[in-house]
Amino acid sequence: MKPPVFEYHRPESLDEALELLATLSDVKILAGGQSLMPMMNFRYVMPAHIIDINRIKELGEIHRVHDGVKFGAMARHDQAKKSEIILEHCPLIAAGMEHVAHAQIRNRGTIGGSLAHLDPSAEWPALLAVHDATLRVQSKSGERDVPILEWSQGFMTPNLVEDEMLTEITVAIWPEKHVYGFAELARRKGDFALAGAAVLLDFDGEVISRAALALLGVEVGPIRMIDAENLLVGEIPSDELFREAAEHVTVVAGIDDVHASASYRKKVASVMVRRALEQASHQHKSQALAA
Ligand SMILES: Cc1cc2nc3c(=O)[nH]c(=O)nc-3n(C[C@H](O)[C@H](O)[C@H](O)COP(=O)(O)OP(=O)(O)OC[C@H]3O[C@@H](n4cnc5c(N)ncnc54)[C@H](O)[C@@H]3O)c2cc1C
């Protein structure tokens, strides 16, 4: 099926795009088009106007900033997977991108599109949650910053109003020797995950000095497992410690849908937490052996 008729706009600058958003109604922004175009073809959404932001050059950049990394909203999944800046400062993000869809979709899909679409199983929100990301939203009348954990306002509902655009995302980076883990379960490679976990750990000798742990696929938005993080800090990694941390998943409510029940998603998430923690701990051991 083809999409219904719409008027196409292709601004060359952010100001032009914000002006269009302020003046038009019944609008959708077109980023990578990997979710929007299927939804239009199925006629789930039928906007009167499309604003294609692919020509706005500054939105496609990834930069190192003083204590973090800044992504333009149009940075593509594949760009993040291969970026030297990401591989050096936030390698978990590059590792997570391996799990997003297929190569063709990663070539076009964007960080901003993923965050605005806000599928509960998307990898970006969880990867950004462990990095305490801040999302910059702009409109013609101003701008505001939204912490990643306040981004989801319900099922596939981001913290955005009609004339606003997500323009950039800044993540805090961790010390050079931090370690990470990412694990998810999908029915087939490239499918959305049933559930997954992203982990960052830092160590003081053998002891975990800092931990960040987020889940995807179990709630409508990304969630940080703060109790599990607190349990990990000050401890030496062990199977028992990781099992105990993974048990914290049981406190999450969980979501049911046609793909899986909440209880199944939580079981899967709990196993993914353990796997992600084991990956991180293994990396730490390898670093210690190499030192
Ligand atoms: C077969 C298939 C498998 C997939 N598997 C996965 C997967 O495993 N994991 C995963 O995370 N994703 C997956 N995706 C989704 C993919 O990652 C999309 O790229 C992503 O969800 C949307 O990004 P986009 O840039 O293509 O956005 P678009 O499709 O262009 O837009 C999506 C929505 O976001 C809005 N939007 C876009 N940019 C902005 C902005 N800057 N400000 C405000 N609103 C904006 C649009 O108006 C639209 O409503 C899959 C997609 C397909 C088709």
- pLDDT band of 252, cuts 50, 70, 90: confident
pLDDT digits (tens, 9 = 90+) for 237-246: 999 999 999 9
- The pLDDT score that the predictor gives to residue 158 is 98
Edge-to-edge strands of the sheet including 207-216? 179-185, 195-204, 207-216, 223-224
SS3 225: coil
> Cα-Cα-Cα-Cα dihedral of 148, 149, 154, 158, to 10°?
-10
Alpha-carbon dihedral sign for residues 101, 107, 108, 113: positive
Ordered by start, the domain boundaries in the chain are 7-52, 57-172, 179-290
C-alpha 118 to ligand 1 mean position (Å): 8
Span 22-44, average pLDDT:
97
54 C-beta neighbours (distance < 10 Å), count: 16
- The pLDDT score that the predictor gives to residue 1 is 76
* pLDDT above 70: percentage of residues in the chain: 100
The mean pLDDT value of the chain amounts to 96
- The number of residues in the chain equals 291
- The residue type at 77: H
- What is the 3-state secondary structure of 86-149? HHHHCHHHHHHHCCCCCHHHHHHCEHHHHHHHCCCCCHHHHHHHHCCCEEEEEECCEEEEEEHH
Q: Is 122 near ligand 1, meaning CB less than 6 Å away?
A: yes
Q: Tokens 């932001």 appear where?
A: 53
- The residue type at 104: Q
- The pLDDT score that the predictor gives to residue 271 is 98
DSSP structure class, residue 231: H
C-alpha 275 to ligand 1 mean position (Å): 27
- The residue type at 218: V
Q: Is 273 near ligand 1, meaning CB less than 6 Å away?
A: no
Mutation test residue for ligand 1: of 9, 10, 26, 35, the one with most atoms within 8 Å of CB: 35
Mutation test residue for ligand 1: of 18, 24, 36, 50, the one with most atoms within 8 Å of CB: 36
Atom of ligand 1 nearest to the CA of 122: 11
* Domain at 179-290: CATH architecture: 2-Layer Sandwich (3.30)
The CATH fold assigned to 57-172 is: 3.30.465
Q: Is 106 near ligand 1, meaning CB less than 6 Å away?
A: no
- The pLDDT score that the predictor gives to residue 207 is 98
pLDDT digits (tens, 9 = 90+) for 47-81: 999 999 999 999 999 999 998 999 999 999 999 99
Task: Check whether 291 has a pLDDT greater than 90.
Answer: no
Give, in words, the CATH class of 7-52: alpha beta
C-alpha 24 to ligand 1 mean position (Å): 22
At what angle are helices 239-247 and 262-290 packed, to 10 degrees?
150
Span 203-207, average pLDDT:
97
Contact between residue 40 and residue 33 where contact means Cβ atoms under 8 Å apart: no
pTM: 0.97
